[in-house]
Amino acid sequence: MEEKIAQIAVTTFTVNNLWMMVSTFLVFIMHLGFATLESGFTQSKNTVNVLFKNVMVVAIGLLTYTLVGFGLMYPGTDFAGQVFAFGGFGLSLPANGITDAYNPGYTYWTDFLFQAMFAATAATIISGAVAERVKLEAFLIFSVIYVAICYPITGYWKWGGGWLNTMTTPFYDFAGSTLVHSVGGWGALAGIILLGPRIGKYVNGKAHPIPGHSMPLAVIGTFLLWLGWFGFNGGSVLSANPGSVSLVLVTTSLAASAGAAGAFFTSFFISKKHDLGMALNGILGGLVAITAGADQMGVTDAILVGLIGGVLVVLAVIFFDKLQLDDPVGALSVHLVNGVWGTLAVGLFGAKAGSAQIVSQLIGISAIGAFSFAFAFILFFVLKATMGIRVSEKEELEGLDKYEHGMSAYEFGELSA
Amino acid sequence: MEEKIAQIAVTTFTVNNLWMMVSTFLVFIMHLGFATLESGFTQSKNTVNVLFKNVMVVAIGLLTYTLVGFGLMYPGTDFAGQVFAFGGFGLSLPANGITDAYNPGYTYWTDFLFQAMFAATAATIISGAVAERVKLEAFLIFSVIYVAICYPITGYWKWGGGWLNTMTTPFYDFAGSTLVHSVGGWGALAGIILLGPRIGKYVNGKAHPIPGHSMPLAVIGTFLLWLGWFGFNGGSVLSANPGSVSLVLVTTSLAASAGAAGAFFTSFFISKKHDLGMALNGILGGLVAITAGADQMGVTDAILVGLIGGVLVVLAVIFFDKLQLDDPVGALSVHLVNGVWGTLAVGLFGAKAGSAQIVSQLIGISAIGAFSFAFAFILFFVLKATMGIRVSEKEELEGLDKYEHGMSAYEFGELSA
Amino acid sequence: MEEKIAQIAVTTFTVNNLWMMVSTFLVFIMHLGFATLESGFTQSKNTVNVLFKNVMVVAIGLLTYTLVGFGLMYPGTDFAGQVFAFGGFGLSLPANGITDAYNPGYTYWTDFLFQAMFAATAATIISGAVAERVKLEAFLIFSVIYVAICYPITGYWKWGGGWLNTMTTPFYDFAGSTLVHSVGGWGALAGIILLGPRIGKYVNGKAHPIPGHSMPLAVIGTFLLWLGWFGFNGGSVLSANPGSVSLVLVTTSLAASAGAAGAFFTSFFISKKHDLGMALNGILGGLVAITAGADQMGVTDAILVGLIGGVLVVLAVIFFDKLQLDDPVGALSVHLVNGVWGTLAVGLFGAKAGSAQIVSQLIGISAIGAFSFAFAFILFFVLKATMGIRVSEKEELEGLDKYEHGMSAYEFGELSA
Amino acid sequence: MKKVEAVIRSSKFEQVKQALHEIEVNFFIYYPVHGVGNTDSETSVWRGVTYAAESIRRTKLEILLQDQNVEKVIQAICDNARTGDVGDGKVLVENVEYLIRVRTGEASHEGL
Amino acid sequence: MKKVEAVIRSSKFEQVKQALHEIEVNFFIYYPVHGVGNTDSETSVWRGVTYAAESIRRTKLEILLQDQNVEKVIQAICDNARTGDVGDGKVLVENVEYLIRVRTGEASHEGL
Amino acid sequence: MKKVEAVIRSSKFEQVKQALHEIEVNFFIYYPVHGVGNTDSETSVWRGVTYAAESIRRTKLEILLQDQNVEKVIQAICDNARTGDVGDGKVLVENVEYLIRVRTGEASHEGL
Ligand SMILES: Nc1ncnc2c1ncn2[C@@H]1O[C@H](COP(=O)(O)OP(=O)(O)O)[C@@H](O)[C@H]1O
Ligand SMILES: Nc1ncnc2c1ncn2[C@@H]1O[C@H](COP(=O)(O)OP(=O)(O)O)[C@@H](O)[C@H]1O
Ligand SMILES: Nc1ncnc2c1ncn2[C@@H]1O[C@H](COP(=O)(O)OP(=O)(O)O)[C@@H](O)[C@H]1O
């Protein structure tokens, strides 16, 4: 009898942990989403390169996060309220790491893996923005350091219990509009500035489109990212709590849908065509925007946040083109702009809305933005000064696949020849 | 102690809700399955258009179902046994909406999202059938209205507790062979009739094949649909009940496999070639067929229902071509014919077999068929008379992508040039 | 009260079964992973053929395993310690088959479906190795027999409770490095030997590369396989035990990542290019290698096992090319070599390491290797002598799609014409 | 013997093919090409930027003919490839010195 | 100088290429084309409908040659592209006025 | 009238196109081809085996010109397609007997 009652706690723990594992799988599949989206939105002569970056970033990101990142981001409760802390290298199973004494929602291992899948996302966001011209080795080194050091530090500020979390009105970022997406977005901005645009992108100050090579890949990517977001946001509840998780899934889906609608109408208004690329970016914009407050919004809030996100994506794409910031896949518009918007929206809509919260949100956005932009800028700058970050003109024109990889993404010769 | 025991109910509710959320994800991914299947089975000059429809149908479908559909389909228990009922616009969390007092299997939010993912399916089914010639705006307006009004009304008749559910021998449709698939299929039939065939499809009364442009996309679509069906059927148990859900997964898988086998042999017999497209449609036919009785069938029943479904798909494709009903992706053969077959099979095989059940099944099939066909026909007819439902000949010949979207699905120029 | 307490056991059972169902879905999706990986790594003139095999192998595999395989592999506890046993044809729900009296982790139906998804994997592994030249009918017949008889017999030796499981130091193979992957790999080897290389692969003793036609498909395949492996390994815990399952997920992910890193460095060292195909194979090599001991390894063990797996893949690909064993997708290097390596690694790393274990591992590897290679060799040999196993030279040169299927995988004519 | 090369709208290809078959021209090759030129303005859109497509998709046909058949083939192509809008394409005639049929090795100066 | 154009079965391309290399013809271009004509009947199937493929995949080669080399190149192509079945393709010879090498700008009437 | 055919590096195509537009050559077609020949050695890798790519991707242009314009077009192409490395390609000039504009049916021996 006693034993049976003890089983209740175990079973509850098992359910929560199961949900967190499922969320981990969903976040994992976002990496395939990024790989397909980014390769679909870029040229076929660079497809192997884009895919290679996305594959290696996951692998290297996981290993790096194992070695350093996890210890930096979650140093433990002894380090609350600080700016920097480190819990040690590598992983070591704490006492009770596999029972609910560690956390009522998940084991130490689940915790690590869920967080590690998140971490690799930030680097992957950058990979799209610098695509078609960045040197592979330079990018991989950048990713390792960014995932190992920058992302965990700002992550610690909030999720690890650092200073942003211990302010009077704590900064709020439910699942990472700022901590993940903007951090990726600021890194992307630094990279774009230091790399410069692709050859031929801006001629006499006018943007000259370089269409992506495969819309089916882009659509596969977007759907997989939406799917993955169920785990990204839903898993951020950190337990299988039925009410909280299912609300988060609803707000996430409605924001994505509203984002599509917002981008659909805005882009049709601007170009009189039904722009598939913008609709896809609109979905992603809505998803990024809802991420900061997915558990705080009602149905109408979520739709509004997503709708505005979708409109913002379209305007931002055009705006960045005006500034000649060449972003092949729209990473800035999706992750940076909507990361900021979504974080701010927590102060404007939903349960936490209020002026104190707005101030806290602005503090968080600025502090994390400043730190991660500066970090990325310096890191890219050092790489540029030393090994170089951009491929040769010849390589860029003939395609990175040929020179860096010695292969083509497609061989249809046999087929149609 | 008391508290711990109370926890049992909460944990049980959490497990059930977790399963329903997983099912929701699986049904969601069916939309990617439809997008890839339909674009694979159509020409590359229309690929952006096909993808665009599939993306927007999900987004718009979710928003529409939020606003109207859910209230029409599940008006609440006060409206049992009727033909039409409406529970109000929008979503509003009922008291106890996030505890097992709402439903032992899921929260209000999970309920809504699971149902909303289903709803969008019906419109997506139609999108394949009318592909390569339908006007985008007309189709989107059709979808909004169909998902908002027609699908919820017939859905209410059975699942919402309406008259088909309160007959002496209630009509039985476990997961929607009729309520979802046939409803999509009848809408598709109406669209096909009013649109007419694609230019060049029937020359002098002979069918002239228009091959799809990518078999890999079609295969990806079929596997994702099969995967999604685990949630479509498995989630229709409405709880995580181990025995029921796992039986449903087995009958679903075996029917899909038998459908592949049935189509494989039938098509080889007819054409002496191993027709991949038919094998894929056979899988889908088997899946649609088992849907109505997935929880009522034994192993052998499931195999027979699927096998016949696979044979029927092949014969139906040929039959519809004889009638010059041009259905680019086989939506009629898969969803309409097997929707009807599967619903009927509940009266012939498995636990519910019997003449009273056969009669009830026929009543349900006919009533829902008549309503949804008439609804779709009138709706398409009005759209045809007003804004027009078909693109110009020039647009159709040169491809919808160029005129409606101003882009191509693929740009391999850079690669092979 | 009593009733509520009884509910604890039911709920616990429900959670465990839920996890096993999720694992089943993940293993199912591996089949799409194989389909896309194998078609990406082969020529576009044979794509329909490769896809067709992968689709039909799943369907036929499930039906075959229903009829014979499950009864051969899991004959029941009365048959412990033997070499051969048979529990009867077909499926029949045992008493208590849907309660935890059957098994605390899953129902009879879940058990069957999880195992059936595994079984089809072994045949699918072979399909890649014999691609681009094997006769479709011969391959399908081979698959049916291999899945129905060979795989279950060796599977019974260990997992079904046969002699390898009742040795003093039992052979250990957690999730099937040997029982699934090597069994597939040995079958592949037999097929490759009896078929001979593709025309033009070895000219004057030198390997002449025949590049695959689509790297995006190969990347999609690899990510889906990694995803599926979470269920393949995680599900092999046979319950949702939080500590065990989450550890397995971590070792699995780290081995995959380390495999990518191992292959990345090795192949760069050899060819001075960043070889995407090798990175993908490295991930798979790491996954196969960790499979035998995923629950016995620590973090560092897992990384080492995966790293060595990744290095081995690259060396093995080159080695098999030296031997003129033509393996279009690297099935031998991934599944056979790493299946052996991973099984052996259980004796070298982690909790079970020790000389007695090494001996047992060698016994298991050899016995199962000898049996399955001999079985496959004889079976292919008989097929070769009777119906023939290789297509005509003309068919091979012009592509199997044209002759066996009467269609092309891609039709881009409309697009670029 | 002559070689007639025609660059036409891809959407008109099926119709031209039928017309050629009707006048018993059963052998030819065709392939997709990009045409740069005066065309019906086609606006493309990519990520919010509207631009004039700098090239359009055309199909090129190559037909080997005996001299006396050139006239009617050109007529058939022009009649069937025409829409009347700018961008209908061009047909040109070149001289071919001689032709060999691979299967038999037989050569001809007039066509086979 | 002459231009030899050959339309052959794609499956014979590798063999023809080797043969050309053997007679020291190391420079040429090739590309895929669709051939309409007498071919070994190929039946295609799409969704249950069997139909004759209206075109087949062929590879076209273009080789620039000095006049005296034309003969042996044609021989090499015919010998190696032949299967003996209908549909083996055609080789034709055209006159080229002159040729310029882009790298150097040098022109020639005989070939480079 | 002449037909100028140029086989150039695909990466130089944009530059050549601009140059042609500058000298008012606004009409032409182009398509991708495989070039076999002396090229800057490109090593490819497939599954651990390094090999010399046996062909490279080139773009072929076809431009119809009045005789007097041939010279300057060749100049423009050569100037802009040149990198100086082996593999820059070839330009050749052929004679065209006459040309018909599909839209109007008008024929010309000098060009349109
Ligand atoms: N001088 C030329 N050389 C090669 N191709 C040409 C030439 N002139 C036109 N074309 C091709 O023919 C197509 C249609 O020609 P265009 O002059 O635009 O239309 P139209 O003949 O109706 O005036 C162009 O897109 C181009 O591809
Ligand atoms: N008059 C022609 N003009 C252009 N291409 C031709 C012509 N005749 C034949 N061909 C091409 O050569 C291919 C083979 O020719 P065909 O006459 O069918 O075979 P064979 O030469 O063996 O009789 C055809 O498919 C077609 O593509
Ligand atoms: N005789 C020829 N016939 C057809 N194409 C040729 C011929 N010679 C060269 N080419 C094409 O031109 C390309 C470049 O020529 P190549 O001789 O390699 O360089 P370069 O002219 O700089 O010496 C080759 O790849 C080939 O495609």
Using a CB-CB cut-off of 8 Å, the residues of chain E touching D96 are 92-94
The pLDDT of residue A416 is above 70: no
The pLDDT of residue C415 is above 50: no
What number of helices (H) and strands (E) belong to chain A?
17, 2
Cβ pair B406, A278 in contact under 8 A = no
Closest by Cα among A319, A215, A336 to A274: A215
Percent of chain B with pLDDT strictly greater than 70: 99
The 10 Å CB-count burial string (b at 16+, else e) for E93-105 is bbebebbbbbbee
Cα separation, C332 vs C328, whole angstroms: 10
E55 ligand 2 Cβ < 6 A? no
Closest by Cα among F35, F39, B414 to A400: B414
Across residues A358-366, what is the average pLDDT?
98
Q: Could you give the residue ranges of the DSSP H alpha helices within B97-241?
A: 108-129, 136-145, 151-158, 183-195, 215-234
Cβ pair C209, F46 in contact under 8 A = yes
Q: Which amino acid is at A102?
A: Y
* Residue B416 confidence class, pLDDT cut points 50, 70, 90: very low
The pLDDT of residue C416 is above 60: no
Q: For residue E37, report the distance from its CA to the centre of ligand 2, in Å.
A: 5
Mean pLDDT for all residues in chain C: 95
Neighbours of C183 (CB within 10 A): 33
pLDDT digits (tens, 9 = 90+) for C75-89: 888 888 888 889 888
Q: Ligand 1, residues D90, D91, D92: which to mutate, most atoms within 8 A of Cβ?
A: D90
Structure tokens at B102: 């709402």
Cα separation, C12 vs C386, whole angstroms: 53
Task: Give every CB contact of residue C392 below 8 A, 6+ residues apart in sequence.
Answer: none
Closest by Cα among C240, C229, C241 to C294: C229
Across residues A301-323, what is the average pLDDT?
97
pLDDT digits (tens, 9 = 90+) for B97-156: 999 999 999 999 999 999 999 998 888 999 999 999 999 999 999 999 999 999 999 999
From its phi and psi, is residue B96 left (phi > 0), alpha (psi between -120 and 50) or beta? left
Find the chain D residues whose C-beta atoms sit closer than 8 A to any C-beta of B. 9-12, 14, 34, 42-46, 50, 83
**C257 to A32: CB separation less than 8 angstroms, yes or no:** no
Task: Give every CB contact of residue B291 below 8 A, 6+ residues apart in sequence.
Answer: B173, B174, B175, B176, B177, B180, B181, B229, B232, B233, B339, B342
Using a CB-CB cut-off of 8 Å, the residues of chain D touching B398 are 9-11
The pLDDT assigned to A5 comes to 83
Provide the whole-model pTM: 0.96
Element (H, E) at D21: helix D13-22
Cβ pair A244, A294 in contact under 8 A = no
Structure tokens at C405: 């299927």
pLDDT digits (tens, 9 = 90+) for B84-98: 889 889 999 999 999
Give the number of the ligand closest to the Cα of residue F64.
Answer: 1
**DSSP 8-state assignment for residue D29:** E
Cα separation, A97 vs C242, whole angstroms: 10
The pLDDT assigned to D112 comes to 59
Task: Give every CB contact of residue A206 below 8 A, 6+ residues apart in sequence.
Answer: none
A402 at the F interface (CB within 8 A)?
Answer: yes
E strands, B196-291, are 202-203, 206-207
Closest by Cα among A235, A244, C240 to B10: A244
Structure tokens at E63: 């080789």
pLDDT digits (tens, 9 = 90+) for C298-345: 999 999 999 999 999 999 999 999 999 999 999 999 999 999 999 999
Across residues C158-174, what is the average pLDDT?
96
From its phi and psi, is residue B214 left (phi > 0), alpha (psi between -120 and 50) or beta? beta
Structure tokens at C352: 């079970």
Percent of chain C with pLDDT strictly greater than 70: 99
Q: Which amino acid is at C97?
A: G
pLDDT digits (tens, 9 = 90+) for C122-144: 889 999 999 999 999 999 999 99
Closest by Cα among A230, A323, A315 to A281: A315
Percent of chain C with pLDDT strictly greater than 90: 90
Least confident of A265-274, C176-185, F24-33: F24-33
Cα separation, C112 vs A252, whole angstroms: 35
Across residues A320-328, what is the average pLDDT?
96
The pLDDT of residue A246 is above 70: yes
The pLDDT assigned to B179 comes to 97
* Residue E111 confidence class, pLDDT cut points 50, 70, 90: low
More confident residue, C293 or A413: C293
Among F10, F30, F58, most B C-beta atoms within 10 A, so best to mutate, is: F10
**E93 to D95: CB separation less than 8 angstroms, yes or no:** no
Cβ pair A235, A26 in contact under 8 A = yes
Among A37, A38, A46, A66, most C C-beta atoms within 10 A, so best to mutate, is: A66
Nearest CA in chain F to D38: F27
F28 ligand 1 Cβ < 6 A? yes
pLDDT digits (tens, 9 = 90+) for D75-107: 999 999 998 888 889 999 999 999 999 998 888
The pLDDT assigned to B359 comes to 97
Across residues F80-84, what is the average pLDDT?
92
* Residue E37 confidence class, pLDDT cut points 50, 70, 90: confident
**B407 to D45: CB separation less than 8 angstroms, yes or no:** yes
Cα distances (angstroms) measured from residue C152 to each of A189, A394, C236, C378: 56, 56, 16, 17
Closest by Cα among A137, A121, A147 to A68: A147
Cα separation, E65 vs A273, whole angstroms: 50
Cα separation, B16 vs A32, whole angstroms: 29
Closest by Cα among A292, A263, A291 to A277: A263
Cα separation, B17 vs B105, whole angstroms: 6
pLDDT digits (tens, 9 = 90+) for C277-286: 999 999 999 9
Neighbours of B265 (CB within 10 A): 15
Mean pLDDT for all residues in chain D: 88
The pLDDT assigned to D54 comes to 73
The pLDDT assigned to E39 comes to 56
| Max avg pLDDT among C226-230, D26-30, F107-111 | C226-230
Cα distances (angstroms) measured from residue E2 to each of E32, E69, E106, E108, F33: 22, 9, 18, 12, 19
pLDDT digits (tens, 9 = 90+) for C51-66: 999 999 999 999 999 9
**B398 to D11: CB separation less than 8 angstroms, yes or no:** yes
The pLDDT of residue B414 is above 60: no
Nearest CA, atom 20, ligand 1:
D87
Element (H, E) at E64: strand E56-65
The pLDDT assigned to F44 comes to 87
Longest distance between any two alpha carbons in chain B, whole Å: 80
The pLDDT assigned to B367 comes to 98
The pLDDT assigned to C76 comes to 85
Q: Ligand 3, residues F38, F61, F83, F91: which to mutate, most atoms within 8 A of Cβ?
A: F38
Q: Ligand 2, residues D3, D17, D25, D29: which to mutate, most atoms within 8 A of Cβ?
A: D29
The DSSP bridge partners found for residue E9 are E58
The pLDDT assigned to D106 comes to 87
Cα separation, C22 vs A154, whole angstroms: 34
Closest by Cα among C396, C372, C305, C308 to C149: C372
Task: Give every CB contact of residue C414 below 8 A, 6+ residues apart in sequence.
Answer: B43, B44, B45, B213, B399, D10
Cβ pair C20, C110 in contact under 8 A = yes
F92 at the D interface (CB within 8 A)?
Answer: no
**A275 to D47: CB separation less than 8 angstroms, yes or no:** yes
Measure the N-to-C terminal CA separation of chain D; round to a whole number of Å: 10
| Max avg pLDDT among A170-179, F1-10, F79-88 | A170-179
The pLDDT of residue F70 is above 50: yes
ipTM for the whole complex? 0.96
The 10 Å CB-count burial string (b at 16+, else e) for E26-49 is ebbbbbbbbbbbebeebebbbbbb
Structure tokens at C67: 């009829």
Measure the N-to-C terminal CA separation of chain B; round to a whole number of Å: 75
The pLDDT of residue B399 is above 60: yes
Cα separation, D42 vs D86, whole angstroms: 12
Least confident of C253-257, C411-415, E41-45: C411-415
* Residue D111 confidence class, pLDDT cut points 50, 70, 90: low
Cα separation, B178 vs B176, whole angstroms: 5
Structure tokens at A210: 């370089």
The pLDDT assigned to B3 comes to 82
Residues 54-83 of chain D whose Cβ lies under 8 A from any Cβ of chain F: 54-55, 58, 60, 74, 77-78, 81-83
The pLDDT assigned to A78 comes to 84
**F48 to C321: CB separation less than 8 angstroms, yes or no:** yes
Task: Give every CB contact of residue A392 below 8 A, 6+ residues apart in sequence.
Answer: none
Rg (CA), chain A: 21
The pLDDT assigned to F53 comes to 76
pLDDT digits (tens, 9 = 90+) for B305-349: 999 999 999 999 999 999 999 999 999 999 999 999 999 999 999
Structure tokens at A22: 């499922």
Cα separation, C240 vs F35, whole angstroms: 59
Element (H, E) at B266: helix B242-271
The pLDDT of residue A128 is above 70: yes
**Rounded to an integer, what is the distance from CA C156 to the centroid of its chain?**
17
The DSSP bridge partners found for residue E108 are E99
Least CB-CB distance to F48: which of C210, C212, C278? C278
3-class DSSP assignment, residue F58: strand
F31 at the D interface (CB within 8 A)?
Answer: yes
Place of tokens 């870029």: A42
The pLDDT of residue C288 is above 50: yes
